């Protein structure tokens, strides 16, 4: 899951909300609270899936049998897996609806859609950074991110309106 939610927005969902740097920075405290919780859910989901695989390997075709001794455990693990998966997907989708893309839960990497000079860009933030200080084009990624100060130099006419 940590890297699997890298797919971009669903284009049929309509245009993303566009963020300014101050708005994105104001959203960081909530993200700093949510992202560790999501990482915890992903970690627990991995444990549940490993236990499900262990039971499946042990019981083979009898895994789902009502009379096998681990039937109740199998049912609990199935329910927990579904609950965790639903919670993770719901939280990530809620962020997407806000115009925030979760790129990597492990590193706490997120992007905010923004507009600069008529171009759609992504404001880029990673856990541990004090504020949103980088951006990159939609076609780029973490490796192509640049300091936001470069945006201001590239578009001096827009200096009165902060990104």
Phi, psi of 119 (to 5 degrees): -115, 135
Is the pTM value of this prediction over 0.95?
no
pLDDT above 90: percentage of residues in the chain: 61
Identify the domain containing residue 127 by its residue range. Answer: 16-158
Q: How many domains does the chain have?
A: 1
Does 92 reside within a domain? yes
Does 93 reside within a domain? yes
| Listed residue (110, 108, 96, 106) closest to 141, CA to CA | 110
Tens digit of each residue's pLDDT (9 = 90 or more) over 33-85: 999 999 999 999 999 999 999 999 998 888 888 888 998 999 999 999 999 99
């Amino acid at each position: 899951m940590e890297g699997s939610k890298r797919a971009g927005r669903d284009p049929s969902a309509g245009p993303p909300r566009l963020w300014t740097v101050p708005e994105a920075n104001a959203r960081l405290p909530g993200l700093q609270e949510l992202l560790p919780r999501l990482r915890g859910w992903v970690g627990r989901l991995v444990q549940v899936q490993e236990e499900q695989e262990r039971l499946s390997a042990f019981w083979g075709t009898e895994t789902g049998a009502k009379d096998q001794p681990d039937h109740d455990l199998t049912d609990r693990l199935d329910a927990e897996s579904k609950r965790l998966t639903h919670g993770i997907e719901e939280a990530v989708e809620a962020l997407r609806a806000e115009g925030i893309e979760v790129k990597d839960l492990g590193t706490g990497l997120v992007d905010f859609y923004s507009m600069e000079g008529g171009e759609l860009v992504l404001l880029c933030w990673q856990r541990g950074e004090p504020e949103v200080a980088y951006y990159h084009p939609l076609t780029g990624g973490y490796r192509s991110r640049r300091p936001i100060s470069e945006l201001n130099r590239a578009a001096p006419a827009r200096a009165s309106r902060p990104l």
